[in-house]
Chains A and B, each alone.
Chain A
Amino acid sequence: MRAVIAEDQALLREGIVALLREHDVDVVAQAEDGAGLLRIVSGHKPDVAIVDVRLPPTFSDEGVRAAIEVRARYPEVAVLILSQYVEPVYTAELLSSGEGGIGYLLKERVGDVPAFLDAVRRVADGGTALDREVVAELVHARRGADATLDALSAREREVLELMAEGRTNAGIARAMVVTPGAVEKHISSIFGKLALPASDDDHRRVLAVLAYLRATGG
């Protein structure tokens, strides 16, 4: 897998690069700002670009804008955003910038090495990886406004959140310490209550859920 990274904080950038290289991810180029990101993406056509939300010169949402630009110009390049905060506005913009190949994680998640690498691979493969806090916020915000979300049981809501993070059924089963069969039962119940068409494709499934959450956002 070939990756590029745009992160202005050298300490963090070098750490992530070292971490990825230890796990056979080929980091082909590094940038420190949005313009640099676009340059290295066009030069290297990586599988995935790992991007910090805050980049110079404005240190505001430069990274989000650059990531959306990357998605528009090179739809085959997956983007994983790293941020120190959850900002639903930015997540929503990224999610609507194309299908799949997108992730939004809180920065501290890089400390959980296996989960972080899993997220990088999933996004590079065209899947999604949303931080559980992002998902929790989306689901939480819609509760109360929407009777159908209230109809979900606590267990089903948990499954929905894990599913929106981009986890597979096996991953959800591990996280909830239940059998994959139980997860499948929950999922079909959720799809039933939310009136979503079932599908075998993981990221389409996630996107269907997110599209539903956004659509009911009014």
Chain B
Amino acid sequence: MHAEDLPATAAPAPEPGRRTLDWGAALALQAAVSAGLGVATTAIWAVTGGGSFWPMWVWLGLALPLAVQFGVRRAMLSPAGRQRGLAVHAALFAVLTTLLLLLWLMSGMGSFWPIWPLTAFSIALLVHAWVVTQMLPPERERELADRVDVLTRTRRGALDVQAAELRRIERDLHDGAQARLVALSMQLGRAEERLADQPEVADLVRRARGEASAAIAELRDLARGIAPPVLADRGLAAAVEALARRSPMPVTVVATIDRRPPPVLETAAYFVVAEALTNVAKHGAGARARVAMALDDERLVVEVTDDGPGGADPGGGGLGGLRGRVAALDGTLTVTSPTGAGTTIRAELPCGP
């Protein structure tokens, strides 16, 4: 009911607030007590006749815990993790440096001995800072990297599932609706035969059979749009060979693919080649095309080059759709199409583990 409101409005705000308040009050109390003690000792010094101003050592002793507490509390406000460790270190460094300089000032400013401890402290702080910023990525960065890893994996998983689902649907269409329509068409055919003496009824049955055939053809086109059978059956190289053979222009295919990449990559690569070849056929009268495909451990690269007129619109309808399809797989699609110098469409699809 109100469960959604509660944490957002009521719960988180007071907690840190109360803690800050407690700390502030404690610090104020401590500061007041310290100041009181300081004033008291100074008064004692004045009453006892002055002389060398010894209460300054009392002031120093009282200020030190206050400074340490203040610096550390401030440092604790920075984000948790290594960053906070470095902030605490820096705060202590500042307090210690001030302390040493005050000691030196108060002890009569002889030879500048604090140089040695300060050098050592500085080196320690610099090393710490370098380790935090250089050697190890900050916590937040690592969190983001982890998140990106998870998202990449799950998105890829989702696409793999989608590809498998589409192929399952295609199989179900084949075994289910299409098969039944074929059976229906056959029964209608047998009925039509027996109606030879009633031509009008036979004609009705023939028309019904025509409708069944049209439905079968539509399902066939639908299934082919998901993935052509030869792609699912024989893989990318064979399917692209088939595309090349069906193209109206001469197409050379060079494939270095020795295993089946995941279906989702095969399908994306196939449609890149199909679209590219369709474009060549449409715009590159008399052009020749070359398809190069290579698969290694890290990526699947397909490249379609033609010697047509060039000047293709890289964002144009078909290419824009392909770009989205390739980008969803963390791949890149580049279109190089200077006017008068042919077109190269190249898709790189990562296929690492």
Give residues in A with beta carbon < 8 Å to B: 9, 11-12, 15-16, 18-19, 22, 54, 59-61, 84-85, 87-90, 92, 106-108, 110-114, 116, 137, 141-145, 217-218
Contacts and interface: CB of A to CB of B under 8 A. Distances in A.
A55 to B, nearest CB: 12
B213 A108 contact: yes
A191 B343 CA distance: 38
Interface string B100-116: 00000000000000000
Contact of B189 (A87, A113, A141): A113
Contacts of A60: 229, 232-234
Contact of B185 (A85, A87, A110, A143): A110
Given A84-B174, A88-B242, A111 B224 contact: no
Contact of A113 (B182, B193, B248): B193
Contacts of A217: 245
B269 to A, nearest CB: 18
Closest 10 CB pairs of A and B: A111-B185, A144-B248, A60-B233, A111-B189, A141-B246, A61-B233, A113-B189, A107-B182, A89-B242, A108-B216
B241 A111 contact: no
Contacts of B241: 89
B231 to A, nearest CB: 10
A143 B189 contact: no
A116 B187 CA distance: 13
Interface of B: 171, 174-175, 178-183, 185-190, 192-193, 209, 212-213, 216-217, 220, 223-224, 228-230, 232-234, 238, 241-242, 245-250, 281
Nearest to A18: B190
Given A84-B174, A88-B242, A108-B213, A12 B182 contact: yes
A150 B175 CA distance: 40
A141 B192 CA distance: 35
Contacts of B175: 9
A196 B242 CA distance: 26
17 contacts: A9-B179, A11-B183, A19-B189, A59-B171, A61-B233, A84-B223, A87-B242, A89-B238, A92-B245, A106-B216, A108-B212, A113-B189, A113-B190, A113-B192, A113-B193, A142-B248, A217-B245
B186 A19 contact: yes
A155 B330 CA distance: 50
A108 B245 contact: no
A43 to B, nearest CB: 27
Contact of B229 (A85, A114, A142, A144): A85
Nearest to B221: A85
Given A19-B189, A110-B182, 19 more contacts: A9-B175, A11-B179, A12-B183, A22-B190, A61-B233, A61-B234, A84-B174, A85-B224, A87-B242, A88-B242, A89-B230, A89-B241, A108-B213, A108-B216, A110-B186, A111-B213, A112-B209, A113-B192, A142-B248
